[in-house]
Homo-oligomer: A and B are copies of this chain.
């Protein structure tokens, strides 16, 4: 329902506002090197559900964080996500031509440019996290840089992609598949939640979370991230390319293990429902402030695209 207070209204307003934040923070297209900057904007703007930024905004609301600070943290996470898609789509990885209903970066530009776009988006993410004040305590802000870096690297997202590459044609066990996705998708989703919350943990500003509360947010992020992937696999097996805006049925065709190929559709859906419940349980102590996080958990599991 689209009431002034509904999730639909909240998420649409944040998505629209965040698009302008991205337009402002990405290098302007008239600055040299123009083709690279143009390709960076092409790869980030006007696309995607912005699930990670929305999670950061929802976590920021939980702690009463300054939204201008969360904008920066959300942008950093989204730039890491966007760079991973650009590199993932390249011929040496998934070799995909369609993303968010448009030609992928290396198709629209060229492979070398796509490589540099991804590299530059990653650098920009860390530049933004370092050059804006996100927390009155600079040492805590350094922790935020460390969090995003470790979520992105060889023991986070990029490591998950490496495991994914190695898994083609193999029969993975459920724990192995889970290990892969906790890295490939989960690490960055968890980072989005925690970075949003860490913008608000200043003394004297907003609500400071204690270790136990951060631990519960961590668990929420883990469950939500895994649920996101399970639902992705279900949608990928059921939807068509037009609805997804990306190539459907790709993983099964590439002989990659998915929750659907491993468990079947029904058991995968049951797993998503269990992760959904676990995610909501993790938020149970937070009260009304966690409303948008709860709604995002609902959205992640119930979405149709």
| Set B111, B118, B158: member contacting A120, Cβ < 8 A | B158
Asked if B138 and A33 make an inter-chain contact with CB atoms under 8 angstroms apart, the answer reads no
| CB-based nearest B residue for A143 | B130
Asked if B124 and A153 make an inter-chain contact with CB atoms under 8 angstroms apart, the answer reads yes
For residue A163, which residues in chain B have a CB less than 8 angstroms away from its CB? 32-33
**How far is A129 from B143 in the complex, measured between Cα atoms in Å?**
11
Asked if A154 and B122 make an inter-chain contact with CB atoms under 8 angstroms apart, the answer reads no
Given known contacts A90-B115, A127-B146, A165-B113, A159 and B33 CB-to-CB distance under 8 angstroms: yes
Q: Is A31's CB within 8 Å of the partner chain B?
A: yes
**How far is A153 from B119 in the complex, measured between Cα atoms in Å?**
7
Which of A15-23, A35-43, A252-260, A269-277 interfaces with chain B? A35-43
For residue A162, which residues in chain B have a CB less than 8 angstroms away from its CB? 33, 35-36, 113, 116
Q: Is A185's CB within 8 Å of the partner chain B?
A: no
Q: Is A198's CB within 8 Å of the partner chain B?
A: no
**How far is A120 from B163 in the complex, measured between Cα atoms in Å?**
13
Q: What is the distance, in angstroms, from A28's C-beta to the closest C-beta of chain B?
A: 11
By CB atoms of chain B within 10 A, which of A106, A112, A113, A141 has the most? A112
| Set B35, B112, B118, B155: member contacting A119, Cβ < 8 A | B118
A residues contacting B by CB (< 8 A) are 27, 31-33, 35-37, 40, 83-84, 87, 90, 92-93, 106, 110-116, 118-120, 122-124, 126-127, 129-131, 137-139, 141-143, 145-146, 148-150, 152-156, 158-159, 161-163, 165-166
Going nearest first, the 7 A-B pairs with the smallest beta carbon separation are A123-B153, A92-B111, A127-B149, A138-B138, A130-B145, A120-B154, A36-B162
